[in-house]
Structures are given as structure tokens and as C-alpha cells.
Structure 1
Amino acid sequence: EETKEKVENLLAGKVKNKPAMAGSCKLCPWYRSCKNWCKENEDLTNIFYLGRSKRDVLNEDLFVGKVGEVCSLDLADILEKKKKDKNFLKGVAEKTLSKIIARADILHNNRVAVLYKKLELPKVSYELFFDIEDDPTQEFVYMHGVYERNGKGEKFIHFTAKDKTEEAEKEAFGNFWKYVRSLPQDDFAAYYYSPHEKTTYRKMQKLYPDAVSAEEVENFFGNPNVIDLYSIILKHTDWPLGSYSLKEIAQFLGFKWRDETPSGALSIQWFNEYLKNKEEDILKRILEYNEDDCKATMVMKDALEKLDSKL
């Protein structure tokens, strides 16, 4: 009831709050409006992982409202104040504050990506950049896409369930693992972005144990040459961006999706349309979107390697 009342008051114009950027914003109909406001006002939520609550604390306790103002903060002086007053910057620890200031500087002043430690990515003959398309509302995985790069060239491979049946899902899943088994086991690396693939494949293995064993799935993701690039991005880099999503970083690096409105949510919509009428143009659109996601992962890996070479 309290939430309902707040929303009703906002819609009626009785109260106002400041927009903020967050990970879930893209699903909101006011996304573009809030994004424009935050950009025009240099709002602190433009800083990656800062969020509304910490923004409000910094606004109130440090009297900073713009990204540029954060860059000039004296960390030592602030920490001294925190020691004396437990309620000062409550919920914002030293490590968090240090990260906020560093990211503000990169976002406002440097405008370049920063890598903080050597990575030493594997040198192998085969590189795979893979991405799945799934509908989490129906717990159905309809596409496993792989962009393969080796000494002979590059190619996109996909394993797709063209019907929404357990048989089709199992076949596509099983074919992905047959492909993995066909590779030289000590001479390939696989890259993906976010833990979603690992979590999903573990669930699928339980559904379809005949397609792949639990041990094989664990060995695959436990292989040091199978790498979640998001983990590297989050732990060891910073970017002059408010989001460290695959699309934001790849676009910053100059990559462009062929589709004008690329998104996982639209991929689900396209797949449901394909199931109704089986139009090959719709399937082609999904395939191109997935291929571009895989290519974007490759672009990101190459950018990390380039940054690594400079350390």
C-alpha cells in the first residue's frame, strides 16, 4: 500500500524525486527520459555501480551533485571525518568511496579504459566466443551461438531449437556439447560474458543428463581457458561508462550490432513470433543478433588483450 501510494503521488505530480540510473532501468518506459536527465545534470548515478541510495548519501553528506565534483574530493579528509562520525557517509565504505572517486575521474576526465593487473589470456589455436538466447519466463533455451576463430579464419556456428519442445531443446543442447568435444581439448579457449551461461548449462544438464554429464559441464567451466569476461571487467578494469554491459562496452570500442534495436528481450519476442509463423527472416534476425553478441565478446577480449600488452 505504501509503494502504491508513492507511485500514485508521483503520477499525480504531488511529489517529485530525482531520476537515477540503475541496472534494471532499460525495462522501464521512462528509461530514455531519466537517462537524458542524468546525462544533462552529470548525476552521480552515471558512475558505474553507484546507484540511487549511495548517490543520495553523497549528495547529503558531501554536498556533491555532479560527477566532476566527485573527482576533486579529498579521500583522506573524508575518511578522517568518517572515523569521528559513524553516521557520516553511512553505508559507504572506504573501498567503495575510493572506487567511486576513481571511476568518476575516468568518466569525467580520462575517458579511457583502465586495466589494473596483467591478465595473461591463453594462447591457443581455437578461440570460441559463445552466447545463448533463452526465455527465462518459460525456462527455455532456444539458441547456442559460437563465433569461432582459428588460424584458418572465422565462422559463426549455431545450435538452435526451432520448435518449443523438450526434444528440440535437448537436441540443440546436445549438439553444442558434441561440437565442444570435437575441438582439440588442450588447444582451445572459450569466452562468454556473465555467469548466466554457466548457471543455465548446469540447470540444463539436470534436465538432459543424456546430452552431457554433470562432470563434463563442471570440467568445462572449471577449465582455466574457459573465461567469463564479465568477471575480469568487474574485478580488474574500469571504463568511462555508466554501465559495464556487453553492449555498452562493445559500442564504446566501436562495435555495431546490425539490428537497430538489439536486446535480449526483443530476441525472445522474435523467437515467439517465429514459432507462430516459421518465417525464416525472423529466425535470421535472431541469428544475426546472437552472432553479433558473440562478435562483441570477441571485440572485448581483443581490447583486454591490447590493454594487457601495455602493462
Structure 2
Amino acid sequence: MRKYKGGLLFAAHDLDRFLGCTHATVLDLRDLEEPLPKTDEDGQLALLREKGIEHERRYLEACKHEGLAVVEIGSGGALGERVRQTRAALASGADIVYQGALLGGRWHGYSDFLRLAGRDGAGRPLYEVLDTKLSRRAAPAHIMQLCVYTELLARLQGAEPQSMYIILGDGREEAFRFADFAAYYRIARRRFEEFVSAPHPESHPEPCRACDNCRWRGRCEEQWELEDHLSLVANIRRTQIDRLQAAGIGTVRALAALPDAAAVAGMAPETLERLRAQARLQVEKRDSGENRVELLPLEEGRGFARMPRPDPGDLFLDFEGDPLYPDGLEYLMGVYFVEGGKGRFQPFWAHDHDAEREAFERLSNFFAAHLAAHPAAHIYHYNHYEETALKRLASGYGTREDFVDRLLRGRKLVDLYKVVREGVRVSEARYSLKNLEAFYMEGRGGEVKTAGDSIVVYEKWRATGEASLLAEIAEYNEIDCRSTALLRYWLLGLRPPEAAWLEPAEEADEEKEATRAEAELRHSECARRLLERAPAAEVPVRRLTAQLLEFHRREA
């Protein structure tokens, strides 16, 4: 959004922002009149932008390598001049126009690619819009952007393109019929144009999915703190905020002060009591500066009943993944445990998919040997990511599937997040591992402090090879593993003596286990022989064949 020739000129991201948060649009409009302070772009967003440009450039080079006629529109000129150059490039019949400038009415945009689709009856070239996106599936915002560009292109060439395209992060091309989305897009565009044409003297921010990537995030967070907004209550939902506000309860402190007999229309009494108790703990910490924790009523199979008896051989697991690597990569699998009275950290690194498979197999072998030596031990983690990753790696590579299945059936994986959410209530505004550390751990050191930071630092390492960057990530991962161990000890200290322990699952049939182990060994050997000294051109089909081995046995 910017001022242009005495009016406002809009872009696709303005429409996307409006659909996600109308308050952000109000701030955009105010910023045009008087610049407002903005939240700095964090490292992960900057990395995503950089990777997006690299993906776009790779596709451009691929087009040139195929011998396609490519016209690149320079980024240095004024909008009108770039539109003139784009019109000339389209008239020339080039196969690809890169960074074409489009302008029509109050809208403009710069499409990644305009691709020649054919010619009309008079022989004039006709184009369609193609954009590159890092994600592995198209999102609604991507479709809206394509619609903006397609409509502008239709005005420029005098004919409406039938289709529009996205090149996804994994290289796949997806096509979308403009006619399938045109009606919704035009309604959304009209709503936006009507909204920006009307005055908005009063506008209040509400948390939404768009907040994470919004340049006004810091400003809104400051306002929520100042107003004591209900969104500050841990684990509260937007619909619950709406119902509380409709009942005249607009702040955390007001919610905390509700009498026991209070009722809110459309909200179950137990839900209101949970939110009130959570708000009360947070207000008490705010006023006293002291951490507060309450035990929740014991329930069969929930909360503390998910905890097994502690064992000296217990393991504490944490993964670091890079979603920007093609098809994703679990590049560090860290384990913390006690050996000989001292804490030990064991990292398993992987910097490509072959190494990821090898690291997963080594991790599985480590687990198997350790659990054989400590039969009563368990593997602790916080939230579902690690369990999900183990399943994905086993099924994706077709290896150690039986072992992971035994871990799950044997209840060897213990998710402490479920214990926390179902067993205690704390005075923190979030129930993340790092928030809970306020109860059992000193503040963190090191350069890497969040999962997002670790991705940025890892990508820097991939670009530079600087060993100190991997050391920073390893330190962060080890702290996460040790924090999980300390959380377990803290929960054991809170555990009511009458709480039931998680009991071991029934032992598997030894004969069946032997059969499974033999089948997996046979599969691994066949896969090794298929890939060993395979010609480069045959590696993809041989790898697929290896993954299909034992398919029917695994799915039975």
C-alpha cells in the first residue's frame, strides 16, 4: 500500500493482510499519514525471504537452461516504465517474462514469472501467471496473490488467462483455474476497497494467526499488556475471549476476580472455572513476583498417571529440524542421560537425507542397547514433535519400524507436556518448556535461544561451514534435553503420593518379535544390496524399490 498519483495504490499483500487482520490494515493506512514504529524482521523471517529468492532464481536459471527465451524486467525503474517494458516483452512473444510489472486501476504487482501459454486467433501471444513459493502446498494467501496478478494481466493483454501456477518448494508445479476462485477473490477485493475508503477512528487489535509475521506485532503486544488483554491468559481461545467480553469481562484481572457463582453465556462452568483459576495465578505472580503452581484433581490415565516410575537409565530426547531443507531434515537428534553419576549428552547429526537415515538408525540402535541394559527405563520428551518425527523417519525410510512400534506399544515414550497440561496449573502465560523453566532452572545462556534461532544458525552453517555455529546449536539442544530432565524431576517432586504410576505394557510375544527382527534384517540387507554401487541414474528408482520391500508385511 502506497500513495501514487494522488490516490492509494494497493498490492496483493495488502489484501492478504486485510483478510487476516483488519486492524493491521488500519495501521497501514495510519502509517501512510504518519510513519509508525514497526517490529524488526526476525532472523527466521529474513531467512525465509532469502530462501524464497533463491528458489525463484533457481527456477529462472532452469528456464534459461532449457533454452527458453527469457526477458527480465529490471527492478530499478519507476513503476510506469517497468509496466511499459513488461508490455513490450509480452508483445515480443518471449517464453518467460521475469518480474513483470502489472498495473490496473488502484492495484499493481510484480509477478515472479509470466509464462507464454499460446496465441489468440489474431496470433497475439497470451500469458499466464506463475509464482514460486517455498512451501510444499499452496496456501489461501498464495491463491489470492495469483488472482490479483491474473486479473491485472488480463487487463494488460486483453484476455483472461484460464490458469495460474505455483512452483512449490519441492519443485512440483500446481495449476489452479482462475474461474474457480474469481468470484471469492472479487468479493474479498471489494470488501477491502470499501474498508480502506471508510474512516476507522477506533480499531483494537485481537490476536490472530497473522500476528507472527506482522510488522505491527510489537505495537499490538504492548497494547495488550497495557490493556491487560484477555489473550494474555494461558491457553485461552478466541471464542472464549469473545464470550467473556460479551459478558463484560475484558481484562485478566477482571477474570481473576470473578466470584465462584459467576456464569458466562455459552461457556461451560468448568471451562470458566479453569480460565478464572489460570488468570488468578497469573495475577498473583504479577502482583507478588513469585511463581505459583497448583495441582489439578487426579484422573485415571491422565496427568501424573502418565508418569512411570523413575529409573537411573531414563533418557531425555530433543530434536532439531530444518523445514527449509528439501523435504525437511532432522539435523540433530540429542539425548541426555546419566552414566556413572554424571550427566552425558549424545548428539546424532545429519546434514543430508542419507545421513538422516543413518543417524536415525544409530539413534535407534543406541535406544535398543540402552533399554536392554535398563529394561525399566523410559524416553522422555516435551510435546509431540519427537514422537511424530520418530514415526515419520521409520516409515519414510522403511527402517527400524518394528523397533519404533515396540517403543510405542511398550509405552516407552513419555510426553511430559501431557503430564503438565493435565496435572498442574502454573502462573506462566504459556506452557512451553522455556516458560516452565522459571520453576526449576536458571535463565538460559548461549546465542541460540529458540527453535527459530537454531534454524537460522544451522542455515548459516550450511552456507559457511563455520564449526562454532554447530557448537552453538549443540549447546542449545543439550540445554533442551537437560531442561526436560529437570522438568521430570520437578514433576516428581509435585506428584501426589496417591497418584498411580504408568505401568509397563504387556511383554510382546518373543516368537513374533524374533520373526519381526528377522524380517527387518532381511529388508535392510536387500536395501543395502540394491543401493550398493548403483549407477547414479538408477539411484532414485532403486531407493523407491528398497522402500517398497516388505510393504505388505509392514501394512498387515
Q: TM-score, normalised by structure 1?
A: 0.85
Matched, 1:114 2:301: no
From 1, 6, 12, give the equivalent of 2:29.
Answer: 12
Matched, 1:303 2:483: no
Matched, 1:285 2:472: yes
- Superposed CA deviations along residues 145-192 of structure 1, whole A, max 9, x for unmatched, are 01112452211100001x3x2211111111111110111331312110
1:99 is matched with: 274
**8 A contact 2:20–2:208 mirrored in 1:** no
**8 A contact 1:122–1:225 mirrored in 2:** no
2:342 is matched with: 153
Could you tell me how far apart the structure 2 residues matched to 1:279 and 1:208 are?
30
Higher mean displacement: 102-111 or 8-17 = 8-17
Could you tell me how far apart the structure 2 residues matched to 1:47 and 1:202 are?
33
2:225 is matched with: 39
Could you tell me how far apart the structure 2 residues matched to 1:223 and 1:33 are?
49
Query: 1:309 deviation in Å?
Result: 5.4
Matched, 1:57 2:74: no
Higher mean displacement: 258-267 or 110-119 = 110-119
Q: Residue type matched to 1:3 in 2?
A: L
Matches for 1:1-311 after TM superposition, within 5 Å: 1=15, 3=19, 6=22, 7-13=24-30, 15=200, 17-20=203-206, 28-61=214-247, 63-78=248-263, 88=265, 90=266, 92-109=267-284, 111-116=291-296, 117=298, 118-119=304-305, 121-138=308-325, 139-150=328-339, 152-161=341-350, 163=351, 165-185=352-372, 186-210=375-399, 212-213=400-401, 215-308=402-495
1:85 is matched with: none
Structure 2 vs 1, CA of residues 123 and 151 (structure 1 numbering), >3 Å: closer, same or farther? Answer: farther
Could you tell me how far apart the structure 2 residues matched to 1:24 and 1:3 are?
9
Q: TM-score, normalised by structure 2?
A: 0.49
- Superposed CA deviations along residues 22-80 of structure 1, whole A, max 9, x for unmatched, are 7885555444443333333322211111134422321221x1222222123234341xx
**8 A contact 2:461–2:470 mirrored in 1:** yes
Could you tell me how far apart the structure 1 residues matched to 2:473 and 2:246 are?
46
Could you tell me how far apart the structure 1 residues matched to 2:215 and 2:442 are?
26
3-state DSSP of counterpart to 2:436: helix
**Structure 1 unaligned residues grouped into runs of 5+:** 83-87
Q: Residue type matched to 2:378 in 1?
A: A
3-state DSSP of counterpart to 1:182: helix
**8 A contact 1:21–1:46 mirrored in 2:** no
**8 A contact 1:50–1:100 mirrored in 2:** yes
The aligned length equals: 296
Higher mean displacement: 63-72 or 8-17 = 8-17
**Structure 2 unaligned residues grouped into runs of 5+:** 1-14, 31-198, 286-290, 299-303, 499-556
Could you tell me how far apart the structure 2 residues matched to 1:250 and 1:23 are?
26
Could you tell me how far apart the structure 2 residues matched to 1:285 and 1:189 are?
28
Could you tell me how far apart the structure 2 residues matched to 1:126 and 1:55 are?
45
Cα RMSD, aligned residues only: 2.6
Structure 2 vs 1, CA of residues 23 and 249 (structure 1 numbering), >3 Å: closer, same or farther? Answer: farther
Could you tell me how far apart the structure 2 residues matched to 1:258 and 1:27 are?
26
Structure 2 vs 1, CA of residues 175 and 268 (structure 1 numbering), >3 Å: closer, same or farther? Answer: same
Structure 2 vs 1, CA of residues 47 and 256 (structure 1 numbering), >3 Å: closer, same or farther? Answer: same
Larger of the two Rg values belongs to structure: 2
Could you tell me how far apart the structure 2 residues matched to 1:124 and 1:98 are?
37
- Superposed CA deviations along residues 61-118 of structure 1, whole A, max 9, x for unmatched, are 1x1222222123234341xxx6xxxxx3x3x322221210111122123641122235
3-state DSSP of counterpart to 1:288: helix
3-state DSSP of counterpart to 2:418: helix
**8 A contact 1:220–1:226 mirrored in 2:** yes
Structure 2 vs 1, CA of residues 310 and 196 (structure 1 numbering), >3 Å: closer, same or farther? Answer: same
**8 A contact 2:448–2:472 mirrored in 1:** no
**8 A contact 1:129–1:191 mirrored in 2:** yes
Could you tell me how far apart the structure 1 residues matched to 2:232 and 2:208 are?
9
**8 A contact 2:292–2:427 mirrored in 1:** yes
**8 A contact 1:142–1:160 mirrored in 2:** yes
Q: Residue type matched to 1:257 in 2?
A: R
Structure 2 vs 1, CA of residues 153 and 17 (structure 1 numbering), >3 Å: closer, same or farther? Answer: farther
Q: Residue type matched to 1:100 in 2?
A: L
Could you tell me how far apart the structure 1 residues matched to 2:449 and 2:218 are?
16
Q: Residue type matched to 2:377 in 1?
A: F
Could you tell me how far apart the structure 1 residues matched to 2:344 and 2:275 are?
40
3-state DSSP of counterpart to 2:378: strand
Query: 1:252 deviation in Å?
Result: 4.5
